[in-house]
Amino acid sequence: MNQDNKTCILKDQSLFEKKFKWLPHLLQLLYIGAFVLTGKGTYVGSIDYFFCIGLFLFFIGMGYLITYCLMPRYLFKKKYFIYFGILLVAVILSTFLFKYIEESLLPYLVNKKNNADEEHTTWAMKIFSTTLVYIIFLGPFSFWKMLLQWTKDSNKIRELESTTIQSELQQLKNQINPHFLFNMLNNANVLIHKDPDKASDVLMGLSKLLRYQLYESSRQNVLLAGDIKFLNDFLNLEKVRRDHFDFTVDVIGDVNSVFVPPLLFITFVENATKHNLDPEKTSYIHIVFEIKDNHLYFSCVNSKPQIQAVKSQHGGIGLSNSSRRLKLLYDDNYTLNIKDEKTVFTVELKVPI
């Protein structure tokens, strides 16, 4: 799932919660009201009516006290000892309150036989019964509140991760672009003294490349065909400035309707051109793009000179940035294999499309 889809889901969830925030309150009223009505007929006359209303108001009040006061203040802040301690005190006090009400309303009881049976119930059993009543009456809505809180926390984490990823992706892209520009300008500077006409061609070609970077790299996705043309232009520039250099770019499948993140392959190709300079023989780069089974397969194979150049201590930044970018873009849904052999250097990449 890409970042735009994640952002849309977060927005949809937020709009849903705002639009239907009254729904949990209505369900709680109906749920507790339905349970209270099951106890109707316990007392005679109007006493029974007032008893049901009092019981309803009591559990509604306790429900809101627990879900909207105690849980946010203690449970969600991981103050578990205080939260469960208050609940325990509430259960014990409620047990005494219920016992007092029962004794006060004893003369109005419809079935006095049930009361005679309850006289043999211990206080431990009464507290346990009150606990069960709390769980039955208030448990579902406490769970609902916890679920909502967990969803909000998860959304905040995902939103923060999304923002962080986008920021890091932009930083990586900004590091890649100047690196590429520096190399091309350095090439043009060398050619100005050796071959001014070639230098002019390089600068004209470079302007086309920079135009593509300026307008396309700011997008989240670009046509793969456009990125392939960009690589062709880049390699043609390389061929202009080098006498013994060949390259091929093969495309297998229809790439005209495939979108990819911009400048996804230039680092690998630029790395190939940078490290395959060979004064003894013609160097080469072979690139293949293949569309197969909803995946894009990319390979870049370049020759290596017989005499290896001394590696800079700052080398490898481009490849490491590209690896990090792939991880951010595709998570674990990509495969990158880099083989550094004696005569060839190979990059193989597989990404979903």
70-128: pLDDT as tens digits? 888 888 888 888 888 888 898 889 888 888 887 777 777 666 555 555 555 677 787 88
**CB within 8 A of 201, min separation 6: which ones?**
237, 240
The pTM for the full model equals 0.51
Q: Which helix (H) or strand (E) holds 246?
A: strand 245-252
Say if CB 221 and CB 262 are below 8 A apart. yes
Between CA 26 and CA 33 the distance in angstroms is 10
Between CA 42 and CA 108 the distance in angstroms is 9
Residue 304, number of CB atoms within 10 A of its CB: 19
Regarding the domain with residue range 168-352, which homologous superfamily does it belong to in the CATH classification? Histidine kinase-like ATPase, C-terminal domain (3.30.565.10)
Say if CB 345 and CB 275 are below 8 A apart. yes
In terms of C-beta density within 10 A (0-12 exposed, 13-18 middle, 19 or more buried), how is residue 231 classed?
A: buried
- The label of the residue with tokens 């119930």 reads 121
pLDDT at res. 277: 77
Q: Answer yes or no: is pLDDT of 221 > 60.
A: yes
What are the domain boundaries of the chain?
Answer: 3-158, 168-352
Say if CB 83 and CB 145 are below 8 A apart. no
Q: Answer yes or no: is pLDDT of 330 > 80.
A: yes
% residues pLDDT > 90 (the chain): 10
Tokens of 46: 């109007």
pLDDT at res. 1: 45
Locate all alpha helices (DSSP H) within the chain, ordered by sequence: 3-19, 23-38, 45-65, 80-104, 112-118, 123-194, 196-216, 224-241, 266-274, 317-330
Q: Smallest Cα–Cα separation from 119: which of 97, 96, 103?
A: 103
Say if CB 88 and CB 74 are below 8 A apart. no
